[in-house]
Structure 1
Amino acid sequence: MDLEIYDKTKTGVPDKHINLVKDILNYAGKYIKLSDNTEMSVTFVNNEDIQKINKEYRGVDRATDVISFAIEDDAEDDMPIILDEEMANEIPNNIGDIFVSIDKVSEQAEFLEHSYERELGFLVVHGFLHLNGYDHMKDEDEAIMFPLQRKILDDYGLKR
């Protein structure tokens, strides 16, 4: 997977946390069998920046922990592009972008009494699953997404 990481925080994200995010997202990608030509980005921000994003895109004027922006590939008015299999495999499949508030990672890890790493892993896997079409708005969707999320985190080694 081609993963771009952007650090827009005031204090900077330590390399060990950036490497954790890369590792767990690559692990999650293999777990759900994403193609190798998948690409996405993760941007680390502070509460004030994620609050602005949350207000602009969701109409909620407060900081949140993670926001995912999935790329919609199939708009109704798009003309389909027909490629042979070899050409199709060469074109990257961009699934979208995740924004994570490192302030919320700290706050929630302390509140939930688990490690910063567990909370960071949880949030990026949660956002990653949203980019891949998983949701939890309905009970039947939650019954699929949450166990998958926990299995990925546990198998990776970030147990609660």
Structure 2
Amino acid sequence: MSIEISNESGMEVSEEDLLDVARFVIARMDVHPAAELSMVLVDSDTMADLHMRWMDLPGPTDVMSFPMDELEPGGRPDAPEPGPAMLGDIVLCPPFAAEQAEKAGHAVAHELALLTVHGMLHLLGYDHAEPDEEKEMFALQNQLLTEWYEELRLAEEQARLAERDRSLLGKAGFVDTPES
């Protein structure tokens, strides 16, 4: 998996979290693991320019997706064998996301994770122009985000238990522990 992130937004953002959630979606949606993705984080003025240029809508927005290859979960049925491809570009606007997060009463990191999932689904052909499409896309978006958070929680719990075990085994003399 090749994911390039360029933060040109002027805001400090956890690029590692964005990489992690993007990788999670790619794995869950059965996209070839060698697929390529580009993520660019921009300021509000840049996003407003892109929004006007590509959508003919004034002002900034939270996320825009620019698909490259036509990919579908599980690969295309007419393809002889799924292979690596360029998914496309996701453009996020952290300043806009920060405003949305404040209004929604949650952390900016959560908003950016949600927007990353949203952008990834657009790259995979999902849309929300029609009510049925919106229902399907947002349900999948929420499911993926919930599963990602659960995976993070389990990883943190395993790390905590491993540290506890290491400490207990060290106290019992079964493993060497650094002296304090």
TM-score for both structures, normalised by structure 1 = 0.82
1:11-22 aligned within 5 A: 11-14=10-13, 17-22=14-19
TM-score for both structures, normalised by structure 2 = 0.74
Give how far 1:34 is off: 0.8
Cα distance in 1 between the residues matched to 2:138 and 2:70: 25
Cα distance in 1 between the residues matched to 2:145 and 2:21: 8
Cα distance in 2 between the residues matched to 1:103 and 1:2: 26
Specify the alignment match of 1:56 in structure 2: 53
Pair 1:73–1:113, CA change in 2 (3 A):
closer
Specify the alignment match of 2:175 in structure 1: none
Give the letter for the 2:103 counterpart. Answer: F
Give how far 1:142 is off: 1.6
Which one has a bigger Cα radius of gyration? 2
Cα distance in 2 between the residues matched to 1:104 and 1:69: 19
Deviations, residues 7-38 of structure 1 (Å, cap 9, x unaligned)? 112x3434xx1000000010111111111121
* Backbone CA RMSD of aligned residues: 2.0
**Sequence identity percentage:** 29
Give the letter for the 1:13 counterpart. Answer: E
Specify the alignment match of 1:2 in structure 2: 2
Is 1:95 the equivalent of 2:84? no
Q: Which has the higher contact order (CA 8 A, sep 6+)?
A: 1
Point out the structure with the larger strand share: 1
Give how far 1:84 is off: 7.2
Specify the alignment match of 1:34 in structure 2: 31
Specify the alignment match of 2:106 in structure 1: 114
* Structure 1 alignment gaps of length 5 or more: 75-82
Deviations, residues 90-110 of structure 1 (Å, cap 9, x unaligned)? xx3001101111101110110
Which SS does the other structure have where 2:116 is aligned?
Answer: helix
Pair 1:27–1:59, CA change in 2 (3 A):
same
| Contact persistence 2:11–2:95 (CA under 8 A) | no
Is 1:136 the equivalent of 2:136? no
Which SS does the other structure have where 2:95 is aligned?
Answer: helix
Specify the alignment match of 1:78 in structure 2: none
* Structure 2 alignment gaps of length 5 or more: 72-78, 151-180
Cα distance in 2 between the residues matched to 1:114 and 1:57: 29
Specify the alignment match of 1:79 in structure 2: none
Give the letter for the 2:119 counterpart. Answer: G
